């Protein structure tokens, strides 16, 4: 059996930046073990398998795997898969067009809008299927710092202190005082395990206001070694949760707020995630994730 696949770089307008994604099409005859084996073979942060939808009016059923496990939801697979399917259905990679797709993910049906314009990488955007909420307690500051190879005084700025939020996937959010300290952070073996893995988080999301570009609001890094991802170039599901951090700690007023997030710069894979937050009656009511994607390779995988 031979199955077609494509790889895309997601949350970037330039090939060899952003977060790589593999998308395997016509995957209905694969079982879960085969999908996991293929994801390990690609060894990217996520690999997507596209199956026929359970609801005929929907666009596709999508299963998402890291190299070690299946995920019910992830951001860059949602963006990349929607762009690939929209381009294949409408006009390839040239010309103008708009599409609305409904992808059946493990978390439920997600509507994704895709904007295709001649000479430009396609852009996709979706409303998060679940809003972020607080999720448990983090270890004390000294333990978190040890797990990241930092000193306690380098963690925190303004009123931002370490927190944890979940929107299907739970992340630890660690504010870092400077980009210099952010660049020095790393996963520190047993100290990391004690600080983060034992708490059940997908990963640790470190952020600072010191950015590469003036248009960005935050520069971030995300470590998830327990999920087979030593460091992720762009993490849409964590950005969904990060909206809760921003709303609560930056005390956003009612209205629509846009934030551009930089990620992957330390890895040499610059990524830009467009985050939109809508606050009504002092509550976060909508979180929207957007980004571009470009196709890189295509071929067949033999099973």
Query: Percent of the chain scored above 90 by pLDDT?
Result: 90
Beta bridge partners of 100: 113
CATH of 133-288, one of 2.40.30.40, 3.40.50.1370, 1.10.1740.10, 3.10.310.10: 3.10.310.10
Cβ neighbours of 21 (radius 10 Å): 30
Q: Please give the model's pTM, rounded to 2 decimal places.
A: 0.94
pLDDT of 235 strictly over 60: yes
DSSP class of residue 198?
G
Write out the H or E segment, with its range, that includes residue 243.
Answer: helix 236-249
Catalytic residues: 46
In 3-state terms the chain splits into helix, strand, coil percentages (rounded to 5) of: 25, 40, 35
Q: Could you read off the pLDDT of 59-103 as tens digits, one per residue?
A: 999 999 999 999 999 999 999 999 999 999 885 455 688 999 999
Whose CA is closest to 78, among 169, 1, 165, 200?
A: 169
Local structure of 11: helix, strand or coil: coil
| 32-62 pLDDT tens trace | 999 999 999 999 999 999 999 999 999 999 9
**CATH architecture for segment(s) 2-128+292-302:** Roll (3.10)
140 secondary structure, DSSP code: P
Residues of the chain with CATH 3.10.310.10: 2-128+292-302, 133-288
């Amino acid at each position: 059996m031979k199955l077609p696949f494509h790889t895309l770089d997601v949350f970037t307008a330039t090939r060899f930046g952003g977060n790589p994604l593999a998308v395997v099409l016509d995957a209905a005859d694969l079982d879960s073990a085969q999908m996991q084996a293929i994801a390990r073979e690609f060894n990217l942060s996520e690999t997507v398998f596209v199956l026929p939808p359970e609801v005929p009016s929907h666009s596709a059923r999508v299963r998402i795997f890291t190299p070690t496990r299946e995920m019910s939801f992830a951001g860059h697979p949602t963006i990349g898969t929607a762009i690939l399917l929209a381009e294949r259905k409408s006009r390839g990679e040239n010309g103008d067009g708009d599409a609305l797709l409904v992808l059946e993910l493990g978390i439920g049906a997600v509507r994704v809008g895709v904007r295709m314009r001649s000479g430009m990488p396609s852009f996709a955007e979706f409303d998060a299927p679940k809003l972020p909420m607080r999720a448990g307690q983090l270890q004390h500051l000294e333990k978190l710092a040890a797990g990241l190879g930092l000193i306690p005084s380098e963690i925190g700025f303004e009123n931002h202190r370490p927190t944890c939020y979940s929107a299907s996937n739970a992340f630890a959010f660690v504010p870092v005082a400077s980009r210099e300290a952010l660049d020095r952070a790393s996963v520190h073996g047993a100290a990391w395990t004690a600080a983060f893995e034992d708490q059940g988080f997908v990963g640790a999301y470190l952020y600072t206001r010191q950015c590469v570009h003036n248009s960005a609001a935050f520069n971030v890094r995300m470590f998830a070694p327990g999920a087979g991802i030593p460091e992720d170039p762009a993490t849409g599901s964590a950005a969904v949760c990060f909206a809760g951090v921003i709303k609560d700690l930056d005390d956003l007023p009612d209205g629509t707020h846009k934030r551009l997030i930089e990620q992957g710069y330390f890895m040499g894979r610059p990524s830009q995630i467009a985050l939109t937050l809508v606050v009504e009656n002092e509550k976060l009511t909508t979180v929207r994730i957007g980004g571009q994607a470009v196709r890189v390779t295509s071929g067949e995988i033999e099973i």
